[in-house]
Amino acid sequence: MNIQGSIYRRLMLQLVGSAAILAAILFLLFQSFARQLAVESQDTTLKASASAILESVSVQQGQVVADIPYAALAMLGNVSDDRVFYQISRGTDVLTGYEDLPRSLDDTSWTAKYRDDPIRLVKVSRSLPINGSLTTIAVTVAQTQDGLAQKLGEISRTAILIGLIFFAVATILAVWAARSSVRPLNIVAAAVSRRGPADLRPVTTPVPSEMAPLTQALNAFIARLDRSLSQSEDFIAEAAHRVRTPLATVRAQAEVTLRRVDKEENRVALKQMIRAVDESSRAAGQLLDHAMVAFRTDHLERSKLDLRAIIEEIVERQTPIADLKDIEFLQTTAPDCIVLGDTILIQNALTNIIDNAVKYSPNETVITVTLEREGAEVVLTVADQGPGFEADNINALTDRFARGTNVGQTVGSGLGLTIANEVAKAHNGTLTLKQSTKGSGACVTLSLPA
């Protein structure tokens, strides 16, 4: 399977990534807003102070007099331990205060560097009549920004905490969102994988609209598969019929001709021909049966089967063939041998086991068929008085086309036990071939869960 990435992981990555970016933006916005507010509040105090000083400036006898009220500078000291500077000027002349304080042409508030420290300055001015002409008096009040920096540090820490809480909540929501997005996929996957191999019904699990094309495609595929499977079942039956019928005709013709021919070498040739036809016919039949078994074990249809009835029917069908060799069936069958299985498959397996017993037994022998319940199992045992299994490894006789060393002239294709074994496995049962002690014959056991 070609697996590339994971929707869950990708969703998580995108959602958590977005949450991180949002948290960072939130932090920056919060911080800049807080900074702006802090600066504005400092400006307001500075402006109030500067205005109070400016109010105290008056002209007495042509002289500018400033009586700086205590409160004007005290209000700045209240805010923090920051140093405060002021300057009163008339045009470009400094009347009193710090002479080297940075200047501005307009009434404004600004930030500058003074004695190596950043300071915030506010300048206000008004015109006063001196000696008959209007003169502009300006007051500049400045303050260092240590208090502001300290306040901003506190705000930053709060902003980081808020950002982290936001990120944590967003991550939890992302996990929840990613999980619930992939849940329908998991539900469909579970519904499909829970199915038995024969279950080719369309998927009807409710799915979100995005998944509808996928389930539609899956259902269309299942429908095609179902059609082609039933076609191949028909094909197997048809092929069996078409192969066997002409072979039977050829065999019948050869038999008739054999009766009319006297010349020994022609008779030998005809007998070889009949045998070859028998081999082909058997091989074709067994191959098609095997294909059918492989197909049906993939789509096992289980129903309650009475093994006793099935066995009795097969023995009855084999009796005429057994009679030709004076072989007698001895049956011991228990009544309550019900198994869950596919009739056609079980019939096929049992026919092959009994067919072997008849085929490999010598004349005038007995085949014992026993059917009994052993705990949770139904056990069928077929024992004959033939040569028994002869092979280096008797379990290998269940391999495809495997034939033993004891077959002699007996026609066969080596698929009978393969079929029986596959049917046993498909029904969770076991097929056991018992090594015969010389002369006691073969013993085949088929155990199926009851």
> Which positions touch ligand ATP (CB under 6 A)?
282, 286, 352, 356-357, 360, 384, 386-389, 397, 402-404, 406-407, 412-418, 442
By beta-carbon proximity to ligand ATP, the closer residue of 96 and 406 is 406
Using CB distances below 5 to 8 A depending on partner kind, what does residue 192 bind out of ligand ATP, Mg ion, none? none
**Total residues contacting Mg ion (rule CB under 5 A)?**
2
Is residue 318 part of the contact set for Mg ion (CB under 5 A)?
Answer: no
By beta-carbon proximity to Mg ion, the closer residue of 416 and 429 is 416
Using CB atoms, what's the residue nearest to Mg ion? 416
By beta-carbon proximity to ligand ATP, the closer residue of 122 and 383 is 383
By beta-carbon proximity to Mg ion, the closer residue of 386 and 416 is 416
What is the smallest separation between the CB atom of 385 and ligand ATP, expressed in angstroms?
Answer: 10
What is the smallest separation between the CB atom of 397 and ligand ATP, expressed in angstroms?
Answer: 4
By beta-carbon proximity to Mg ion, the closer residue of 69 and 414 is 414
- How far is 256 from 185, CA to CA, in rounded Å? 68
Using CB distances below 5 to 8 A depending on partner kind, what does residue 275 bind out of ligand ATP, Mg ion, none? none
Quick note: the x/- pattern for Mg ion over 335-374, rule CB under 5 A, is ---------------------x------------------
Is residue 386 part of the contact set for Mg ion (CB under 5 A)?
Answer: no
By beta-carbon proximity to ligand ATP, the closer residue of 101 and 394 is 394
- Residues lying near Mg ion in the complex (CB under 5 A) are found at 356, 416
